Amino acid sequence: MIESRFSELRQKLTEALKRNQGRAILVSGGIDSGILAYLCPGAKGVTVNLNGKGEDLKYISILREPLGLDVIHVKVGVDEALSAVREIIRLLRSFDPALPNDLAVYFGMREVKRQGFRSIMTGDGGDELFGGYSYMQEIEDLDGYIRRISRSMNFSSNRIGEHFGLDVRQPYLDPDFVAFALSLGGDVKIKEEGGKIWGKWILRKSFELFLPPEFIWQGKRPLEVGSGMAFLRKIIADKISDEEFEEKKKAYPVKFYCKEHLYFYEIYRQEVGEIPKPGEGEDTCPGCDGGMPHGRRHCRVCGWVK
């Protein structure tokens, strides 16, 4: 019965957390980190937002009372966030347009370091393993797709944590838990509930009796949106005129998604240099002509998705 799978998922994740437990947890307001906070009540939560913007604080506030959640709120100013863009690009050696997501991770981990913690837990892997992204609803062979990406999952939090000397713990990526997640079919990962299609359905159902319904049945939003870092996009875009953007699109060997992408690329050129050419056994990225591991759909340098 499906109810037994709910119980098994809770048990498997609890065991994975025990093997990958840290003293702090990066709390985004989403269900992946919220579930970890529920399973590890003694951990100190850390959340980040830009000048009080974003929706994460709303969902974290929902958890405060029922979980007794103790959270450090890191409020980042616009100038401070823009200054950190250069360091993030240098650190990750990337100008991926999704970089505002990494800013929230960067400031959260910096605060964890300042607080004297040596380890931090993240919810990395929950979306990838349980069909959390909206585009996954259109994939015909969801099981095969998740199985393929599970072999090469890589998160910026690892490199950012290393930069700050932190041990990054990722319970969802525990090998035994990954094996369990892969044993579940796509039909319980993306499923209808209450007239709506939900990603991470089985993860939600497994914890719906233990967390507030308005939390567990929240929609998916990127970290940059929840943290408010997405507001930086307009600020950056306003720095580049339409004419300049069109000219530089022709001048540079990169297919830019947006003005922010160009802005990040020019910093990349200053801080990192030229884009690495494909090496032996690598494919050529259609977005920047750089090297991509064979079979990979996402370029770690420019962020292009095939």
Provide the residue range defining the domain that includes 15.
Answer: 2-231
Same domain membership, residue 136 and residue 101 = yes
Cα–Cα distance between 219 and 198 in angstroms, integer?
8
The strands making up 119-121's β-sheet, listed across from edge to edge, are 71-76, 44-50, 24-26, 119-121, 167-169
Q: How many domains does the chain have?
A: 2
Same domain membership, residue 85 and residue 156 = yes
Same domain membership, residue 222 and residue 265 = no
Q: What is the pLDDT of residue 294?
A: 80
Cα–Cα distance between 186 and 98 in angstroms, integer?
26
Residues of the chain with pLDDT under 70: none
Cα–Cα distance between 290 and 253 in angstroms, integer?
10
Angle ∠(67,118,35) on CA atoms, nearest 5: 25
Q: What is the pLDDT of residue 80?
A: 98
Cα–Cα distance between 10 and 8 in angstroms, integer?
5
Q: What is the pLDDT of residue 208?
A: 97
Q: Are the beta carbons of 299 and 285 closer than 8 angstroms?
A: yes
- CATH classification of the domain holding 80: 3.40.50.620
At 230 the three-state DSSP class reads helix
Q: What is the pLDDT of residue 261?
A: 98
**CA count, 13 A, side-chain hemisphere, 139:** 20
- For residue range 220-233, what is the model confidence (pLDDT) as tens digits? 999 999 999 999 99
Q: Are the beta carbons of 251 and 237 closer than 8 angstroms?
A: no
**Total Cβ atoms within 10 A of residue 108:** 28
Domain boundary among 211, 231, 251: 231
Same domain membership, residue 261 and residue 121 = no
Q: What is the pLDDT of residue 129?
A: 98
Does 305 map to a domain? no
- For residue range 5-32, what is the model confidence (pLDDT) as tens digits? 999 999 999 999 999 999 999 999 999 9
Q: What is the pLDDT of residue 293?
A: 85
Q: Report the predicted TM-score, pTM, of the whole model to 2 decimal places.
A: 0.94
Q: What tokens does 240 get?
A: 């580049």
